[in-house]
Amino acid sequence: MGEGFRQAVLQSLAFKKNKINNRMRLAFVGYKPQEKYTVGVSRDEDTDLVDFLTGKGLFIDRVIWNDDKVNWSDYNIVIIKSPWDYHEKIDAFYTWLDKLKKLSITVLNPVDIIKWNSNKHYLQAIQDKGLKIIPSAYLPKGSEFTHQYFEKFSVDKLVVKPCISAGAKNTIIISKDNMAAQKESIDALLAEEDYLVQPFMEVIKEGEWSFLFFNGKYSHAVLKIPKQDDFRVQQYHGGTVSYPQADPVHITQAAAFLEIIPQKTLYARVDGVMMNNSFYLMELELIEPYLFLNGDPALLENYYQALMQFIQSD
Protein backbone atom coordinates (compact mmCIF):
# COMPACT_ATOMS: atom_id res chain seq x y z
CA MET A 1 0.00 0.00 0.00
CA GLY A 2 1.44 3.36 -0.99
CA GLU A 3 1.88 6.07 1.61
CA GLY A 4 -0.47 8.43 -0.22
CA PHE A 5 -3.22 5.83 -0.36
CA ARG A 6 -2.73 4.96 3.32
CA GLN A 7 -3.04 8.61 4.34
CA ALA A 8 -6.19 8.98 2.26
CA VAL A 9 -7.76 6.00 4.01
CA LEU A 10 -6.83 7.34 7.43
CA GLN A 11 -8.25 10.77 6.58
CA SER A 12 -11.46 9.18 5.35
CA LEU A 13 -11.83 7.17 8.55
CA ALA A 14 -11.11 10.22 10.69
CA PHE A 15 -13.70 12.23 8.76
CA LYS A 16 -16.28 9.50 9.24
CA LYS A 17 -15.53 9.29 12.95
CA ASN A 18 -15.83 13.06 13.40
CA LYS A 19 -19.07 13.07 11.45
CA ILE A 20 -20.48 10.34 13.69
CA ASN A 21 -19.35 12.09 16.88
CA ASN A 22 -20.76 15.43 15.79
CA ARG A 23 -24.20 14.14 14.90
CA MET A 24 -24.69 11.59 17.66
CA ARG A 25 -25.98 12.41 21.12
CA LEU A 26 -26.04 9.56 23.58
CA ALA A 27 -27.97 9.04 26.79
CA PHE A 28 -26.11 6.97 29.37
CA VAL A 29 -28.84 5.55 31.56
CA GLY A 30 -28.56 4.86 35.26
CA TYR A 31 -30.82 5.04 38.30
CA LYS A 32 -31.42 7.25 41.29
CA PRO A 33 -28.62 5.98 43.56
CA GLN A 34 -29.49 3.78 46.52
CA GLU A 35 -26.78 2.87 49.00
CA LYS A 36 -27.84 -0.79 49.10
CA TYR A 37 -26.52 -1.22 45.54
CA THR A 38 -23.16 0.44 46.08
CA VAL A 39 -21.91 -0.84 49.43
CA GLY A 40 -18.60 -2.62 48.89
CA VAL A 41 -18.23 -1.49 45.25
CA SER A 42 -14.73 -0.06 45.06
CA ARG A 43 -15.01 1.98 41.84
CA ASP A 44 -17.66 4.11 40.18
CA GLU A 45 -17.65 2.15 36.94
CA ASP A 46 -20.15 4.45 35.23
CA THR A 47 -17.96 7.51 35.81
CA ASP A 48 -14.90 5.69 34.50
CA LEU A 49 -16.78 4.63 31.38
CA VAL A 50 -18.41 7.99 30.65
CA ASP A 51 -15.09 9.80 31.12
CA PHE A 52 -13.42 7.37 28.72
CA LEU A 53 -16.13 7.70 26.08
CA THR A 54 -16.28 11.48 26.25
CA GLY A 55 -12.50 11.48 25.98
CA LYS A 56 -13.01 9.73 22.66
CA GLY A 57 -15.15 12.64 21.47
CA LEU A 58 -18.63 11.23 22.03
CA PHE A 59 -21.40 13.48 23.33
CA ILE A 60 -22.94 11.71 26.33
CA ASP A 61 -25.41 12.79 29.00
CA ARG A 62 -25.82 10.77 32.19
CA VAL A 63 -29.54 10.42 32.85
CA ILE A 64 -31.89 8.50 35.14
CA TRP A 65 -34.29 6.15 33.36
CA ASN A 66 -37.41 7.33 35.23
CA ASP A 67 -36.60 11.05 35.34
CA ASP A 68 -39.69 12.78 33.90
CA LYS A 69 -37.61 15.84 32.98
CA VAL A 70 -35.57 13.98 30.37
CA ASN A 71 -36.59 14.59 26.75
CA TRP A 72 -35.68 11.25 25.21
CA SER A 73 -36.26 12.46 21.67
CA ASP A 74 -33.11 14.59 22.09
CA TYR A 75 -31.02 11.41 21.80
CA ASN A 76 -29.95 9.25 18.89
CA ILE A 77 -28.83 6.37 21.09
CA VAL A 78 -29.86 5.32 24.59
CA ILE A 79 -27.35 3.11 26.39
CA ILE A 80 -29.06 1.22 29.19
CA LYS A 81 -26.16 0.84 31.56
CA SER A 82 -27.19 0.65 35.21
CA PRO A 83 -30.93 1.01 35.94
CA TRP A 84 -30.34 -1.17 38.99
CA ASP A 85 -33.79 -0.55 40.48
CA TYR A 86 -35.78 -1.52 37.36
CA HIS A 87 -37.15 -4.70 38.98
CA GLU A 88 -38.67 -2.65 41.80
CA LYS A 89 -40.74 -0.63 39.28
CA ILE A 90 -41.13 -3.13 36.47
CA ASP A 91 -44.38 -1.78 34.98
CA ALA A 92 -42.95 1.74 34.76
CA PHE A 93 -39.76 0.28 33.28
CA TYR A 94 -41.69 -1.54 30.55
CA THR A 95 -43.68 1.62 29.79
CA TRP A 96 -40.46 3.58 29.44
CA LEU A 97 -38.97 0.98 27.11
CA ASP A 98 -42.11 1.11 24.95
CA LYS A 99 -41.79 4.88 24.76
CA LEU A 100 -38.21 4.64 23.51
CA LYS A 101 -39.25 2.12 20.90
CA LYS A 102 -42.08 4.34 19.64
CA LEU A 103 -39.60 7.21 19.30
CA SER A 104 -37.47 4.96 17.02
CA ILE A 105 -34.41 5.60 19.17
CA THR A 106 -31.60 3.07 18.99
CA VAL A 107 -31.56 1.36 22.38
CA LEU A 108 -28.58 -0.68 23.57
CA ASN A 109 -29.30 -3.31 24.47
CA PRO A 110 -32.42 -3.56 22.24
CA VAL A 111 -35.81 -3.13 23.92
CA ASP A 112 -37.14 -6.57 23.00
CA ILE A 113 -34.00 -8.24 24.36
CA ILE A 114 -34.23 -6.33 27.63
CA LYS A 115 -37.88 -7.26 28.11
CA TRP A 116 -37.09 -10.91 27.39
CA ASN A 117 -34.17 -10.90 29.82
CA SER A 118 -36.11 -9.12 32.57
CA ASN A 119 -38.11 -12.23 33.44
CA LYS A 120 -36.30 -15.43 34.38
CA HIS A 121 -38.72 -17.45 32.28
CA TYR A 122 -36.13 -16.84 29.53
CA LEU A 123 -34.09 -19.59 31.18
CA GLN A 124 -36.69 -22.09 29.97
CA ALA A 125 -35.94 -21.15 26.35
CA ILE A 126 -32.25 -21.79 26.99
CA GLN A 127 -32.96 -25.03 28.80
CA ASP A 128 -35.06 -26.19 25.84
CA LYS A 129 -32.03 -25.72 23.57
CA GLY A 130 -30.17 -28.39 25.49
CA LEU A 131 -27.36 -26.10 26.62
CA LYS A 132 -25.62 -26.67 29.96
CA ILE A 133 -27.66 -24.71 32.45
CA ILE A 134 -28.69 -25.02 36.09
CA PRO A 135 -32.08 -26.80 35.83
CA SER A 136 -35.09 -24.67 36.72
CA ALA A 137 -38.78 -24.96 37.49
CA TYR A 138 -41.37 -22.21 37.88
CA LEU A 139 -43.77 -21.41 40.70
CA PRO A 140 -46.62 -19.29 39.31
CA LYS A 141 -48.11 -16.49 41.36
CA GLY A 142 -50.71 -17.84 43.76
CA SER A 143 -49.26 -21.35 43.89
CA GLU A 144 -47.83 -23.14 46.93
CA PHE A 145 -44.34 -24.46 47.50
CA THR A 146 -44.33 -28.23 47.94
CA HIS A 147 -41.89 -31.00 48.75
CA GLN A 148 -41.96 -32.26 45.13
CA TYR A 149 -39.10 -30.00 44.01
CA PHE A 150 -36.62 -31.83 46.21
CA GLU A 151 -37.55 -35.04 44.41
CA LYS A 152 -37.65 -33.37 41.00
CA PHE A 153 -34.02 -32.28 41.26
CA SER A 154 -32.88 -35.13 43.55
CA VAL A 155 -31.37 -32.69 46.06
CA ASP A 156 -31.70 -31.82 49.74
CA LYS A 157 -31.39 -28.05 49.24
CA LEU A 158 -33.10 -25.60 46.87
CA VAL A 159 -32.87 -21.92 45.99
CA VAL A 160 -36.07 -19.97 45.40
CA LYS A 161 -36.04 -16.49 43.84
CA PRO A 162 -38.43 -14.12 42.04
CA CYS A 163 -38.70 -14.36 38.26
CA ILE A 164 -38.25 -10.60 38.12
CA SER A 165 -35.45 -9.59 40.45
CA ALA A 166 -31.82 -8.53 40.77
CA GLY A 167 -29.12 -8.49 43.39
CA ALA A 168 -30.36 -11.62 45.22
CA LYS A 169 -33.59 -9.87 46.22
CA ASN A 170 -35.91 -12.23 48.14
CA THR A 171 -33.64 -15.15 47.31
CA ILE A 172 -34.20 -17.98 49.80
CA ILE A 173 -32.27 -21.17 50.48
CA ILE A 174 -34.57 -23.94 51.64
CA SER A 175 -33.65 -27.46 52.75
CA LYS A 176 -35.66 -30.54 53.57
CA ASP A 177 -34.85 -29.92 57.23
CA ASN A 178 -36.22 -26.37 57.38
CA MET A 179 -39.02 -26.60 54.81
CA ALA A 180 -41.80 -26.58 57.40
CA ALA A 181 -40.43 -23.37 58.92
CA GLN A 182 -39.89 -21.70 55.54
CA LYS A 183 -43.02 -22.75 53.66
CA GLU A 184 -45.33 -20.08 55.08
CA SER A 185 -42.98 -17.22 54.17
CA ILE A 186 -42.40 -18.62 50.66
CA ASP A 187 -46.11 -19.03 50.04
CA ALA A 188 -46.63 -15.43 51.15
CA LEU A 189 -44.10 -14.30 48.56
CA LEU A 190 -45.77 -16.47 45.92
CA ALA A 191 -49.02 -14.62 46.58
CA GLU A 192 -47.33 -11.54 45.11
CA GLU A 193 -45.43 -12.79 42.03
CA ASP A 194 -43.94 -15.70 40.08
CA TYR A 195 -40.89 -17.47 41.47
CA LEU A 196 -38.14 -19.71 40.12
CA VAL A 197 -36.84 -22.80 41.95
CA GLN A 198 -33.48 -24.44 41.27
CA PRO A 199 -31.23 -26.94 43.02
CA PHE A 200 -28.80 -25.13 45.27
CA MET A 201 -25.34 -25.53 43.78
CA GLU A 202 -22.79 -26.02 46.54
CA VAL A 203 -20.10 -25.27 43.97
CA ILE A 204 -21.13 -21.60 44.17
CA LYS A 205 -18.96 -21.43 47.29
CA GLU A 206 -15.97 -21.93 44.96
CA GLY A 207 -17.08 -18.93 42.96
CA GLU A 208 -19.34 -17.73 40.18
CA TRP A 209 -17.73 -16.94 36.84
CA SER A 210 -18.76 -13.98 34.69
CA PHE A 211 -17.70 -13.83 31.05
CA LEU A 212 -18.01 -10.38 29.47
CA PHE A 213 -18.78 -9.95 25.77
CA PHE A 214 -19.07 -6.68 23.85
CA ASN A 215 -20.88 -6.89 20.50
CA GLY A 216 -20.52 -10.64 20.79
CA LYS A 217 -16.74 -10.50 21.16
CA TYR A 218 -15.11 -11.83 24.32
CA SER A 219 -13.50 -9.14 26.47
CA HIS A 220 -12.62 -10.55 29.91
CA ALA A 221 -13.71 -12.75 32.78
CA VAL A 222 -14.06 -12.37 36.53
CA LEU A 223 -14.46 -14.84 39.37
CA LYS A 224 -16.78 -13.76 42.20
CA ILE A 225 -16.52 -15.59 45.51
CA PRO A 226 -19.06 -15.17 48.32
CA LYS A 227 -17.96 -14.37 51.81
CA GLN A 228 -17.71 -17.21 54.28
CA ASP A 229 -21.03 -18.87 55.16
CA ASP A 230 -22.89 -16.99 52.41
CA PHE A 231 -23.92 -17.84 48.85
CA ARG A 232 -24.40 -14.33 47.43
CA VAL A 233 -21.47 -13.23 45.30
CA GLN A 234 -22.37 -9.55 44.88
CA GLN A 235 -19.81 -7.11 46.26
CA TYR A 236 -22.47 -5.32 48.30
CA HIS A 237 -23.15 -8.65 50.01
CA GLY A 238 -19.48 -9.07 50.89
CA GLY A 239 -18.34 -11.02 47.82
CA THR A 240 -14.82 -10.63 46.43
CA VAL A 241 -13.70 -10.37 42.80
CA SER A 242 -10.61 -11.54 40.93
CA TYR A 243 -9.61 -11.41 37.25
CA PRO A 244 -8.22 -14.86 36.37
CA GLN A 245 -7.14 -15.90 32.90
CA ALA A 246 -10.08 -17.90 31.58
CA ASP A 247 -9.67 -21.24 29.86
CA PRO A 248 -10.43 -20.84 26.10
CA VAL A 249 -12.69 -23.89 26.32
CA HIS A 250 -14.82 -22.18 28.95
CA ILE A 251 -14.93 -18.96 26.94
CA THR A 252 -16.28 -20.92 23.98
CA GLN A 253 -18.85 -22.62 26.21
CA ALA A 254 -19.99 -19.25 27.58
CA ALA A 255 -20.16 -17.72 24.09
CA ALA A 256 -22.57 -20.47 22.99
CA PHE A 257 -25.31 -18.88 25.10
CA LEU A 258 -25.13 -15.69 23.04
CA GLU A 259 -26.14 -17.62 19.93
CA ILE A 260 -29.74 -17.97 21.09
CA ILE A 261 -30.18 -14.19 21.49
CA PRO A 262 -32.09 -13.03 18.37
CA GLN A 263 -30.47 -9.58 18.20
CA LYS A 264 -26.94 -8.29 18.62
CA THR A 265 -26.15 -6.82 22.01
CA LEU A 266 -23.69 -4.10 22.95
CA TYR A 267 -22.89 -5.97 26.16
CA ALA A 268 -23.61 -9.36 27.64
CA ARG A 269 -22.46 -10.91 30.87
CA VAL A 270 -22.70 -14.68 31.04
CA ASP A 271 -22.80 -15.88 34.66
CA GLY A 272 -22.36 -19.45 35.82
CA VAL A 273 -20.37 -22.07 37.67
CA MET A 274 -17.88 -24.77 36.76
CA MET A 275 -18.80 -28.41 37.24
CA ASN A 276 -16.66 -31.26 35.98
CA ASN A 277 -14.54 -28.67 34.17
CA SER A 278 -17.53 -27.43 32.16
CA PHE A 279 -19.36 -24.11 32.35
CA TYR A 280 -23.02 -24.20 33.44
CA LEU A 281 -25.15 -21.09 33.03
CA MET A 282 -26.87 -19.50 35.98
CA GLU A 283 -28.06 -16.29 34.32
CA LEU A 284 -27.59 -14.10 31.26
CA GLU A 285 -27.19 -10.45 32.27
CA LEU A 286 -28.33 -8.20 29.41
CA ILE A 287 -29.95 -5.28 31.24
CA GLU A 288 -27.84 -3.69 33.97
CA PRO A 289 -24.80 -5.80 34.73
CA TYR A 290 -21.76 -4.48 36.47
CA LEU A 291 -19.12 -4.97 33.76
CA PHE A 292 -16.02 -5.16 35.98
CA LEU A 293 -14.11 -2.71 33.78
CA ASN A 294 -12.08 -1.67 36.84
CA GLY A 295 -10.80 1.49 35.17
CA ASP A 296 -8.65 -0.63 32.84
CA PRO A 297 -8.08 1.28 29.56
CA ALA A 298 -7.90 -1.97 27.60
CA LEU A 299 -11.31 -3.10 28.84
CA LEU A 300 -12.80 0.36 28.36
CA GLU A 301 -11.45 0.33 24.81
CA ASN A 302 -13.18 -3.00 24.18
CA TYR A 303 -16.49 -1.42 25.17
CA TYR A 304 -15.82 1.68 23.08
CA GLN A 305 -14.99 -0.32 19.95
CA ALA A 306 -18.22 -2.32 20.31
CA LEU A 307 -20.21 0.87 20.76
CA MET A 308 -18.63 2.45 17.68
CA GLN A 309 -19.61 -0.58 15.61
CA PHE A 310 -23.24 -0.03 16.60
CA ILE A 311 -23.03 3.71 15.95
CA GLN A 312 -21.49 3.23 12.53
CA SER A 313 -24.19 0.74 11.56
CA ASP A 314 -27.01 3.00 12.75
Residue 202: DSSP 8-state: G
Residue 89, pLDDT > 50, answer yes
In the chain, % of residues over pLDDT 70: 84
Domains and CATH numbers, the chain: 3-117+295-313 (3.40.50.20), 122-130+203-285 (3.30.470.20), 137-200 (3.30.1490.20)
CA-angle at 244, arms to 220 and 84, nearest 5°: 55
| Mean pLDDT value of segment 181-193 | 88
Sheet holding 208-214, edge to edge: 240-242, 217-225, 208-214, 267-275, 278-285
Which pLDDT does position 16 carry in this prediction?
A: 46
Per residue in 277-290, pLDDT (tens digit) is 999 999 999 999 99
121 touches 163 (CB < 8 A): yes
Q: Helix crossing, 45-55 with 297-313: angle to 10°? A: 60
- Condensed to tens digits (0 to 9), the pLDDT of residues 262-314 reads 899 999 999 999 999 999 999 999 999 999 998 899 999 999 999 999 998 86
To the nearest whole number, what is the mean pLDDT of the chain?
87
What pLDDT score was predicted for residue 253? Answer: 97
Confidence of residue 231 (pLDDT cuts 50, 70, 90): low
Which stretch of 7-16, 72-81, 89-98, 117-126 has the lowest confidence by average pLDDT?
A: 7-16
DSSP β-bridge partners for residue 271: 210, 283
